[in-house]
């Protein structure tokens, strides 16, 4: 579904992505973790080309995203993206946030789009908020709407860039639950997160990245029980005893 | 509406404060302050304008104004009377005379009934006819030839009013352009936007003298009106008015006015050394022979 | 001051046909509104395009927009007006020149010049407001729009501009009022808008204070009404749950 072939990216002198090779199969849920500044957010943003790459190839659903001939807008329509800061459109109601792209990009008619949006809002438990505006919702609610917005394009892949790290602790659970349901429905997912509980419970594979390189990837049980790489060990120790 | 009322109140209060200065006559004011304030223009060539010295006006009207100053000195026995200059525009000249800032304005101000409600006029110092300037090749000889044509005049002048009235009454279908000053009116004529420029004949000669090729242009047409220029002073001040009128009449009577006239209308004048070549009209000769402070419309 | 007040002057005959002075003010106000409104609509359209250009990726389009702004903001309005009225027409093809200068009613050709002038001048100022509004938005907004497959055009149309315009309603209101005040330059090329009619009334009637007082009141009432209108617009588009506007 997604394939990275020796991907490199530089920000000026900084080598953010240093030869990434990775494959994500259809229906697979991959959690990407790593210390801050490791390049994990940059990596996930290259998949739909919110960040460009300097070298290598990224294939999504059989299309090379770095090829100038690829229709990026069409590709992005098939790849849902959920941001750390939700990025809902503040001037539109919850319903319009969800229906805007199906109507404008896919040409769906308004009634069908509304119906679909209400169904998605039910799925994330927010049907009663369809007429509210983003500023009237809590962070957790906004992120659930953002997930519904991503799903409205009926994507083949969903990407999550630290979806819970801007949330108050009591709201993290509701978002993770929605993500878990989504994973169970068979969606292909790539998730950048520090929520190791989610990784342990939901992920098929955990990818550990550091200094722009994948240093370890393993099924969650293996990764948490017996991390091979020294930096992965150190990372996990810090996560488990955050105050030290 | 409340704003309007407040604005009006403010205006009325402001005028009330300015009033006490006027309780005394202008002569008393000059005597007690030791200064006479002369109003002048910056570009009314050759009547009152600034040329080489930006602090001191020159011109035909100004020379006559200085005759009045001499008379005031003599009358008040103040040989060292100071003269202060105050530049006025067509919009400010009346209020500045009224509120006491300017004691005497001599420039190119037409004496008419509307203005007589606000200020007093000296005996006439010049008389013009309102006529046309056009290209020699335009084929235009007189006002009836202007039917359906673009004609320019300067905004706020009597010519503008006459032209508009003529257009309405005789249904001539002229397009009238009101330019902001004489220079711009001439530019409209020169650039082909208008076929003719209606204005006071003396001012038309002034513009013609400034043109790149003065020979291309001609002043033509039967005068549509005659206008008498006068010096402006405050109303209801007979003592000062008498000094002003007497000084001007003496200048007319002695023939000195002819010398002043020739200096400004028949010889090169600053700043460019232009010669207007504008001989004294019969109408003005009559005015000099028989001075009056009436407007042309009253005669 | 022995000024002769006469507030009935506006109902007295001007001496031209059956006109009274008040007619001049009415017609002047009509021209002022016709100049300002048309120029404003054009300025808003041109300025928005330029403002978007300044925020686009790449180099060429932003540079063009920047050059435009620098040029039109730094040349005095009056100079621009004289260029549009006296100089530019001289570079038109011969036939167009004759048409513009002679066949066209002089009021129409002055009107065209002043509308073009004010529209282009104000567009530079609108451009800067629009640019500021777009740049004030969080970067995540365009990323979110692009991520669902919007083109750049759709991103601006549906996501960025609706928010940016809400932010800049107050500065745009002041530009809107400015264009009404600036429209008085039209009097300098012979278009008889409100200020020109005021001056003419002052000259003809010698009731200078009355004329300018009425003009002041008209400009004031006009600006207050426009401000009230814009406040209404601002309230109408306010986003629920947010104070003031989008951030």
**Model confidence at B17, in pLDDT bands (50, 70, 90)?**
very low
How far apart, in Å, do the first and last CA atoms of chain A sit?
Answer: 40
- How far is A81 from chain C, CA to nearest CA, in Å? 6
Return the percentage of chain B with pLDDT > 90, whole number. Answer: 74
Per residue of chain A (244 residues), what is the pLDDT tens digit?
899 999 999 998 899 999 999 999 999 999 999 998 899 999 999 999 999 999 999 999 889 998 888 898 989 999 999 999 999 999 999 999 999 999 999 999 999 999 999 999 999 999 999 999 999 999 999 999 999 999 999 999 999 999 999 999 999 999 999 999 999 999 999 999 989 999 999 999 999 999 999 999 999 999 999 888 899 999 888 877 755 4
Chain C's closest residue to B11, CA to CA, is C209
DSSP letter string over C68-79? HHHHHHHS-HHH
Chain C's closest residue to A50, CA to CA, is C143
Chain A's closest residue to C152, CA to CA, is A73
The 10s digit of each residue's pLDDT in B230-261 is: 999 999 999 999 999 999 999 999 999 999 99
- Return the pLDDT at C1: 65
Any C CB within 8 A of B136 CB: no
- Return the pLDDT at C167: 94
- Return mean pLDDT, chain B: 90
The 10s digit of each residue's pLDDT in B155-172 is: 888 899 899 999 999 999
| Residue C246 DSSP SS3 | coil
Report, as ranges of residue numbers, the positions in chain C whose pLDDT lies below 70.
Answer: 1, 243-247
Q: How many CA atoms lie within 13 A of B27 on its CB side?
A: 18
For residue B19, pLDDT beyond 50 = no
Chains in contact with A via at least 3 Cβ–Cβ pairs below 8 Å: C
Chain C contacts to A (CB-CB under 8 A): 138, 140-141, 143-151, 154, 158-159, 162-163, 166, 239-242, 246-247
Chain B positions touching C192 (Cβ under 8 A) are 178
- Return the pLDDT at B6: 52
Among the partner-chain residues C143, C158, C242, the one whose CB lies closest to the CB of A87 is C143
Contacts 24+ apart (CB under 8 A), C102-109: C102/B150, C102/B192, C102/B193, C105/B175, C106/B150, C106/B175, C106/B176, C106/B177, C106/B193, C106/B194, C106/C190, C107/B175, C107/C190, C107/C191, C107/C192, C109/B193
Contact C203 B156 (CB under 8 A): yes
Interface test with C, best of B1, B8, B169, B177 (most C CBs within 10 A): B177
Chain B positions touching C1 (Cβ under 8 A) are 15, 18-19, 22, 98-100
Interface test with A, best of C134, C137, C147, C155 (most A CBs within 10 A): C147
Contact C144 A88 (CB under 8 A): yes
Chains A and B touching, counted as 3 or more CB pairs less than 8 Å apart: no
**Model confidence at B21, in pLDDT bands (50, 70, 90)?**
very low
The 10s digit of each residue's pLDDT in A136-145 is: 999 999 999 9
Any C CB within 8 A of B169 CB: yes
Residue B197 phi, psi dihedral angles, 5° rounding: -130, 115
- Return the pLDDT at B7: 52
Give CA–CA dist B67/B260, Å, rounded: 11
Contact A153 C141 (CB under 8 A): no
Strand pairing of B43-44 and B35-40?
Answer: unpaired
b or e along C116-127 (b: 16 or more beta carbons within 10 Å of the residue's beta carbon)?
Answer: bbbbbbbbbbbb
Dihedral angle, C-alpha A123, A124, A125, A131, nearest 10 °: -100
Give CA–CA dist A30/A193, Å, rounded: 10
Ranking A87-96, B42-51, B218-227, C48-57 by mean pLDDT, the lowest is: B42-51
Chains in contact with B via at least 3 Cβ–Cβ pairs below 8 Å: C
Contact C217 B3 (CB under 8 A): yes
Chain C's closest residue to B120, CA to CA, is C2
**Model confidence at B297, in pLDDT bands (50, 70, 90)?**
confident
Chain C positions touching B1 (Cβ under 8 A) are none
Q: What interface predicted TM-score (ipTM) does this complex get?
A: 0.89
- Return the pLDDT at C117: 97
The 10s digit of each residue's pLDDT in C112-139 is: 999 999 999 999 999 999 999 999 999 9
Contact C150 A73 (CB under 8 A): yes
Contact A90 C147 (CB under 8 A): no
Chain B positions touching C5 (Cβ under 8 A) are 12
């Amino acid at each position: 579904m997604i394939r990275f072939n020796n991907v490199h990216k530089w920000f000026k002198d900084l080598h953010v992505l240093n030869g990434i090779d990775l494959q994500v199969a259809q229906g697979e849920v991959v959690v990407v973790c790593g210390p801050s500044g490791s390049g994990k957010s940059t990596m996930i943003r290259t998949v739909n080309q919110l960040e460009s790459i300097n070298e290598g190839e990224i294939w999504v659903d059989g299309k090379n995203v770095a090829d100038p001939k690829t229709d990026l807008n069409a590709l992005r329509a098939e790849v849902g993206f959920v941001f750390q800061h939700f990025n809902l459109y503040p001037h539109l109601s919850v319903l319009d946030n969800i229906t805007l792209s199906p109507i404008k990009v896919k040409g769906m008619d308004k009634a069908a789009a509304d119906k679909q949006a209400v169904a998605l809002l039910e799925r994330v438990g927010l049907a009663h908020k369809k007429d509210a505006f983003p500023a009237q919702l809590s962070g957790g609610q906004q992120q659930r709407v953002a997930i519904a917005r991503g799903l409205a394009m009926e994507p083949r892949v969903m990407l999550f860039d630290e979806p819970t790290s801007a949330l108050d602790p009591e709201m993290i659970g509701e978002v993770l639950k929605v993500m878990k349901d989504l994973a169970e429905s068979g969606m292909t997912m790539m998730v950048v997160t520090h929520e190791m509980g989610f990784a342990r419970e939901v992920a098929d594979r955990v990818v550990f990245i550091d200094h722009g390189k994948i240093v370890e990837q393993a099924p969650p049980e293996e990764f948490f029980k017996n991390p091979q790489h020294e930096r992965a060990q150190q990372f996990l120790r810090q996560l488990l005893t955050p105050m030290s | 509406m409340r704003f309007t009322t407040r604005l009006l109140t403010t205006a009325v209060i402001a005028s009330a404060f300015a009033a006490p200065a006027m309780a005394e006559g202008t002569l008393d004011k000059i005597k007690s302050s030791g200064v006479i304030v002369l109003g002048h223009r910056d570009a009314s060539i050759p009547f009152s304008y600034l040329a080489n010295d930006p602090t001191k006006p020159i011109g035909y009207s100004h020379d006559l104004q200085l005759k009045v100053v001499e008379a005031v000195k003599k009358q008040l026995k103040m040989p060292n009377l100071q003269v202060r200059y105050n530049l006025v525009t067509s919009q400010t000249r009346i209020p500045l005379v009224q509120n006491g800032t300017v004691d005497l304005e001599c420039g190119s101000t037409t004496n008419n009934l509307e203005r007589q409600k606000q200020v007093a006029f000296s005996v006439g110092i010049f008389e013009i006819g309102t006529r046309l300037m056009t290209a020699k090749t335009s084929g235009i000889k007189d006002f009836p030839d202007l039917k359906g044509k673009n004609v320019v005049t300067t905004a706020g002048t009597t010519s503008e009013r006459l032209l508009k009235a003529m257009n309405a009454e005789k249904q001539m279908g002229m397009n009238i352009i009101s330019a902001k000053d004489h220079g711009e009116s001439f530019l409209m004529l020169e650039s082909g936007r208008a076929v003719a420029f209606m204005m006071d004949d003396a001012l038309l000669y002034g513009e013609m003298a400034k043109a790149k090729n003065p020979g291309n242009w001609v002043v033509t047409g039967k005068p549509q009106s005659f206008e008498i220029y006068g010096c402006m002073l405050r109303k209801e001040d007979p003592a000062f008015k008498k000094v002003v009128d007497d000084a001007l009449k003496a200048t007319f009577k002695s023939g000195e006015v002819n010398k002043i006239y020739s200096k400004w209308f028949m010889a090169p004048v600053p700043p460019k050394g232009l010669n207007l070549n504008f001989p004294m009209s019969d109408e003005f000769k009559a005015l000099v022979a028989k001075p009056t402070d009436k407007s042309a419309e009253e005669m | 001051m022995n000024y002769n007040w006469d507030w009935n002057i506006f109902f007295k005959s001007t001496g031209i046909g059956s006109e009274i002075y008040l007619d001049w003010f009415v017609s002047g106000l009509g021209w002022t509104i016709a100049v300002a409104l048309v120029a404003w609509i054009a300025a808003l359209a041109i300025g928005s395009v330029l403002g978007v250009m300044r925020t686009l990726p790449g180099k060429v389009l932003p540079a063009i927009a920047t050059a435009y702004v620098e040029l039109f903001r730094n040349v005095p309005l009056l100079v621009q007006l004289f260029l549009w009225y006296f100089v530019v027409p001289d570079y038109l093809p011969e036939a167009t020149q004759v048409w513009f200068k002679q066949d066209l009613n002089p009021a129409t050709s002055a009107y065209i010049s002043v509308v073009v002038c004010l529209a282009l001048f104000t567009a530079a100022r609108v451009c800067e407001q629009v640019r500021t509004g777009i740049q004030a938005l969080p970067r995540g907004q365009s990323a979110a729009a692009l991520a669902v497959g919007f083109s750049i055009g759709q991103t601006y149309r549906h996501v960025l501009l609706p928010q940016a315009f809400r932010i800049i309603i107050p500065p745009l209101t002041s530009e809107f009022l400015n264009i009404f005040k600036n429209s008085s330059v039209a009097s300098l090329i012979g278009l008889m808008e409100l200020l020109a009619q005021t001056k003419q009334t002052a000259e003809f009637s010698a009731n200078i204070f009355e004329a300018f007082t009425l003009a002041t009141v008209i400009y004031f009432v006009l600006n207050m009404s426009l401000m009230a209108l814009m406040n209404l617009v601002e309230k109408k588009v306010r986003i629920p749950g947010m104070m003031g506007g989008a951030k």
